[in-house]
Structure 1
Amino acid sequence: MPSSTSRRTVIKTGALFMALGLTSCTGSPSPSPTPALPSTAAPGTEPAQTFTFGTASRPLGLDPALSSDVESYRITRQILEGLVGVDQTTGKPTPLLATEWNESDEGRAYTFKLRSGVTFQDGTPFNADAVCANFNRWFAFSADLRRQAPGSSFKGVFKAHADEAALSIFKSCTAVSADTVRIDLTQRFTAFLQALTLPACAIASPAALAAGTADVLDQVRSGNPVSRFATKPVGTGPFSLAAWDEASVRLVTHPDYWGDRGQIATINFVTYDHPQTRLQALLDGKIDGFDAVTVGNFDQLVKRGMQIVQRDPFSVMYLGINQEVPVLQNEKVRQAIELAIDKETLIRKFFIDNTAKASQFVPPKISGFNNEAPSLGHDPVKAKAYLAQGGYKGEELKFYYPLNATRPYLPTPEKIYAEISRQLTAVGLNIKPVPVDWSDGYLQKVRSPGDHALHLLGWNGAYADADNFVGPLFGEKNGEFGYQDPQVFSKINRARGLPAGDERNELYHSINAQIAATVPAVPIAFPISALALSDRVSNYPASPVLNEVFTKVQLKS
């Protein structure tokens, strides 16, 4: 790998707010939003450029309320918008479809003033009724729908849906007037405004939701059940969907968009499953940039003098362990798995420089990161002893891993699987490989109850709060880990409602330590992710939370 010195000649670091210290934006959300940034486009300029972007996999569905994969979100961020945006410099909530807001009832109510004169791409008006139609839809998701679409994020944020209303943080949405909406919560949720920046909280056209029977998943895309709406989403964003086929998605600028339309008239998202084909497409001038630079093509990009834009670490890559598999219910066996894994070798071989070793699931720059979280380290001899103490007798462990996928947190899954499998086998574990193509429902298979004993996955943070990392993964029992710790569940629920400060941070320290000690999964790395860009691109709005809207891409004329 190239040295840090050689990299400085080509690397640009994206997302300044991470470098300035994310801890400044993990506390209590300010009721006063930061002002919107002024437009940099020349007044009256009509978008005319075409921008072609290489992606690592196909989107799984374009209804952000039901699909949470990186490539789906990358596209839906261009089409749909939420009430609240993210300031690229500070990371604080910033106006988007809401121009201002205030908090009341000790943090259990938020009133939003909505942007006037905004219409959805189907011509219907954006107003308070539309906002409530969306919130009420998410709240009402049935258990059957949630089983079909494990990418739904509402429960991870608000704890429960209408069928368990007493457990939900969401209480109601009220259209006070056409341009004013109030959202009531059952309890204080400190990161509420940050959570509204999730793509899953983007506001869709109620007319399009109804016309596309959005809650009936009777279509299939990339091996996943989706609705007709998810194949033709309609929001208030700067781009609308023009075409979607097996290899690409085409977006076009929305002529009636309320904000800055930027330079780009057409975006082509083209899928290249393998890192080398993405690299070659950039070198051949077929694309203007691609995401998920790997160690294998980093050197080649450096030698060619290509632009590399590096994001600060805001994800965690882990080995999942499913305690529904009987032998994995034994803590000693899970600890043996952790002891068998040589994280430093994995990071050196497969991740970009400055990727940090992980001993917990909250990244270092987030308030609540525990500097003293317990870690067993790498000790194959002790791993063998722990397997014996745990009564492991060679039971077969199915190890799921994805094919044809590159994620920001998982650059080369086949190679990472091979190395981890080798390390686990070396201490006496009986590993059965189960490769699953990413587009054949890999996410659904490993996040649902099943026979997966071990699996490779990661979590890319979507907003700057510890709850966004431990809440969705370990806030309740789920099909991915079969993890059951009522004390941790209770602590996570309490922490989300505490005001920002030492007490909240200390509680997250305790949560991280308790999760680390019982090993429901093995955190391996906080990966550095990077994009590669052609010389045609003069600026790209890199964001560690992947809030990258292409109206802010600047191209050389």
Structure 2
Amino acid sequence: MPSSTSRRTVIKTGAVFLALGVTSCTGVPAPSPSSPSTSTPSAGDGPSAAFTFGTASQPLGLDPALSSDVESYRITRQILEGLVGVDQTTGKPTPLLATEWTESDEGRSYTFKLRSGVIFHDGTPFNADAVCANFNRWFAFPAALRQQAPGSSFKGVFKAHSDEASLSIFKSCTAVSADTVRIDLTQRFTAFLQALTLPAFAMASPAALAAGTADVLNQVRGGQPLSAFATNPVGTGPFSLGTWDDASVTLVSNKDYWGERGQIATINFLTYDHPQTRLQALLDGKIDGFDAVTVGNFDQLVKRGMQIVQRDPFSVMYVGINQEVPVLQDVKVRQAIEMAIDKDTLIRKFFIDNTAQASQFVPPKISGFNNEAPSLGHDPAKAKTYLEESGYNGEELKFYYPLNATRPYLPTPEKVYAEISRQLTAVGLNIKPVPVDWSDGYLQKVQSPGDHALHLLGWNGAYADADNFVGPLFGEKNGEFGYQDPQVFSKINRARSMPQGQERDEQYHTINVQIAASVPAVPIAFPISALALSDRVANYPASPVLNEVFTKVQLKP
């Protein structure tokens, strides 16, 4: 591992965002669209540079409403925009396609003033009808589509779709006028504005959605069922899709973009599915940067004097436990699994320095983090005793882990799996490895009902609120964990409607304790993630929530 001295050369970003992001409030009018940051450059100032970025895998799909993996979102953030953006410094909601908003009816209604003169890439106008077409589409997603696309985020945020309308937080969308839209909710949702910053709620052209039969997944790409729209998305963003083949995605600058277009005319996302090949591509000058620096990369990058940009921790890596597997319904078996895992060794071997051990799923700088969340600790002897006292009789436990994948929360999954498997086997668990290539539907396999007893995964937060962590993971029974605790479900639902403050924080403290006590999964680490950049890059807009739009990349002359 590099020494602490060498680490001081690393550019650190994101701390202010995390410290202040949770202070974002609903109902505060946003700055007016006359802000200098939103001025459109003159025709002669158009971008001309090419920028090449190394990614760890191909996107699973380019419809952000249905594909929520890191690499899909990285690309769709450039193409589609939402009503609300994220301030890179404070983390507060900022104007994007909406220029201002007001809250009414005790937090159950929001009225948005829309930016005028914006058009989608296909030339159709962005207006209130387009906003409602998108919201109504997400609300109406049928159950069959949701099963095909477990990356859908609407239910995790709004609790239910139109087939269970009485359970949904979303009520309706009304086009008040061409440039004014009202979203009505069934209950107060404290993090509503922050949730709208998710790429999943970006605006797509209604005409393109219809032409691309966006809700019919009748195509297959890299083993993923996709719609025609998901292979050719149309938004209002600063870039549009050029080409997408088996090894790369090319985006081109949108000449009609309403905001600043930056310096980059063409972005090439090239896939390198192994950390060493990404590193070598950067050293050879084939790419200008890559994400998900591993411990091994870090040493070599420091020795070569390359730029490294670290993000503050805003993700949690965990071992998932599926209680639909009968033997894992015994809490003592789940507790034995937790006690068998040596988190310190895993972090020391496989994660970047300053990665913190996790005993809960809410990161430390988020309001609602519980400093006293219980942890059973690493105790192999006690784990063996618990197994002997439980109903476990050597049953085979299928342990799924991804191949050819590097994520900000999981830099080297094969190595992490091997170490955890060794630790679990040492206490008497019968582990069967089930490696699945990331591009062969790994996410769908472990997030859907099935025979996965254990699996490796993580969650990268998208906005600064505890609900963004515990809600999607443990707010209801799902195919990933088979976890069923109506009391926790009810507390999570109540907390999301409580105003910011001590009472809400205490509710999340209680939720964290209850989740920890029942061990539906074992949180391992709050990883530090990092990017590597060539000397050509003067500034990169690193963001803990990965809100990294390439118009803000600054290149040296």
TM-score, normalised by the number of residues in structure 2: 0.98
1:14 aligns with 2:13: yes
Is the Cα contact below 8 Å between 1:57 and 1:405 reproduced in 2?
yes
Are residue 395 (structure 1) and residue 395 (structure 2) matched? yes
Q: Confirm or deny that 1:322 pairs with 2:322.
A: yes
Output aligned runs, 1:73-84, within 5 Å.
73-84=73-84
CA contact (8 A) 2:316 2:459 kept: yes
Partner of 1:494: 494
Q: In the alignment, which of 26, 45, 60 is matched to residue 29 of structure 1?
A: 26
> Does structure 1 residue 338 correspond to structure 2 residue 335?
no
Conserved 8 A contact 1:16-1:90: no
Deviations 1:419-445 (A, max 9, x none): 000000000000000000000000000
State the match for 2:285 in structure 1.
285
Q: Is 1:161 the counterpart of 2:161 in the alignment? A: yes
**2:66 touches 2:149 (CA, 8 Å); kept in 1?**
yes
Task: Give the equivalent residue in structure 1 for 2:37.
Answer: 38
Distance 1:46 1:507, change over 3 A: same
For 1:134-149, list aligned pairs within 5 A: 134-149=134-149
1:211-264 alpha-carbon deviations (Å, 9 max, x no partner): 000000011122110100000000000000010000000000000000000000
For 1:277 and 1:445, the matched residues in 2 are separated by 27
Q: 2:348 maps to which residue? A: 348
Question: Aligned to 2:428, what secondary structure does the other structure show?
Answer: coil
Q: CA deviation at 1:556?
A: 1.0
Counterpart of 1:167, as a letter, is L
Percent of aligned positions that are identical: 84
- For 1:533, the equivalent position in structure 2 comes to 533
Q: Tell me, in whole angstroms, the C-alpha distance in 2 between the residues paired with 1:6 and 1:336.
A: 39
1:182 matched residue in structure 2? 182
Aligned partner of residue 190 in structure 1, secondary structure: coil
Alignment of 1:402-481 (within 5 A): 402-481=402-481
Structure 2 Cα separation of the partners of residues 502 and 37 of structure 1:
37
Q: Please list the CA deviations of residues 103-141 of structure 1 after superposition, one character each: whole Å capped at 9, or x if unmatched.
A: 000000000000000000000000000000000000000
Q: Deviations over 1:251-306 (max 9, x none)?
A: 00000000000000000000000000000000000000000000011000000000
TM-score (norm 1): 0.98
Deviation at 1:34, TM superposition (A): 4.6
Q: 1:308 — aligned with what?
A: 308
Contact kept, 8 Å, 1:21 with 1:365, in 2: the verdict is: no
Q: Which runs of 5+ in 2 are unaligned?
A: none
Query: Which secondary structure state, in structure 2, belongs to the residue aligned with residue 338 of structure 1?
Result: helix
- After superposition, the Cα gap between the structure-2 partners of 1:458 and 1:19, relative to the gap in structure 1 and judged at 3 Å, is closer
Contact 1:34 1:93 in 2 (8 A): no
CA contact (8 A) 2:290 2:532 kept: yes
Q: CA deviation at 1:507?
A: 0.3
Asked if residue 269 in structure 1 is aligned to residue 269 in structure 2, the reply is yes
Q: Counterpart of 1:173?
A: 173
Q: How far does residue 7 in structure 1 lie from its aligned partner after superposition?
A: 1.6
Q: Which whole-Å CA distance do the structure 2 matches of 1:459 and 1:305 have between them? A: 31
Assess, with a 3 A threshold, how the Cα gap between structure 1 residues 34 and 455 changes in structure 2: closer, same or farther. farther
Mapped partners of 1:135, 1:123: distance in 2 = 21
Q: CA deviation at 1:42?
A: 7.0
Residue of structure 1 in register with 2:230 after alignment: 230
Structure 1: how far apart are the matches of 2:112 and 2:41?
Answer: 30
Give the 3 Å change call, closer, same or farther, for CA 40–7 of structure 1 in structure 2. farther
Judge conservation of contact 1:22–1:365 (CA < 8 Å) in 2.
no
In the TM superposition, residue 32 of structure 1 has moved relative to its aligned partner by 1.9
Report the Cα distance in structure 2 between the residues aligned to 1:469 and 1:363, rounded to whole angstroms: 9
Cα distance in 1 between the residues matched to 2:188 and 2:150:
26
> Does the CA contact (< 8 Å) of 1:306 and 1:534 recur in 2?
yes
Mapped contact 1:408–1:529 kept (Cα < 8 A): yes
Q: 1:19 to 1:63 in 2, by over 3 A?
A: closer
Question: Offset of 1:30 from its aligned partner?
Answer: 4.3
Contact 1:106 1:188 (8 Å CA) reproduced: yes
CA contact (8 A) 2:18 2:91 kept: no
Once the two structures are TM-superposed, the CA of residue 6 in structure 1 deviates from its matched residue by: 1.0
Distance in 1, Cα, partners of 2:527 & 2:330: 29
Residue 184 of structure 1 and its aligned partner are, at CA, apart by: 0.2
For 1:361 and 1:499, locate their aligned partners in 2 and report how far apart those are by CA, in whole Å.
Answer: 21
Q: Is the 2:333–2:390 Cα contact (8 Å) retained in structure 1?
A: yes
Contact residue 59 and residue 222 of structure 1 kept, 8 A: no
Task: Describe the SS at the equivalent of 1:320.
Answer: strand
Between the aligned partners of 1:40 and 1:308, the Cα distance in structure 2 is 31
Q: Report SS of the residue matched to 1:497.
A: coil
Aligned pairs (5 A) from 1:113-152:
113-152=113-152
Displacement, 1:506? 0.3
Alpha-carbon distance in structure 2 between the residues aligned to 1:466 and 1:455: 23
Is contact 1:251–1:266 with CA below 8 Å preserved after alignment?
Answer: yes
Tell me which residue corresponds to 2:90.
90
What secondary structure does 1:406 align onto?
coil
- The AA in structure 2 aligned to 1:135 is F
Q: Work out the CA distance in 2 between the residues paired with 1:456 and 1:249.
A: 27
Structure 1 distance, partners of 2:338, 2:21, is: 29
- RMSD, aligned CA: 1.1
**Alignment partner of 1:24: what SS?**
coil
Measured in 1, the distance between the counterparts of 2:173 and 2:121 equals 23
Consecutive unaligned residues of structure 1, counting only runs of 5 or more, are none
CA offsets 1:481-525 (integer angstroms, 9 cap, x no match): 000000000000000000000110000000000000100000000
Task: Identify if the C-alpha distance between structure 1 residues 177 and 42 changes in structure 2 by more than 3 Å, giving closer, same or farther.
Answer: closer
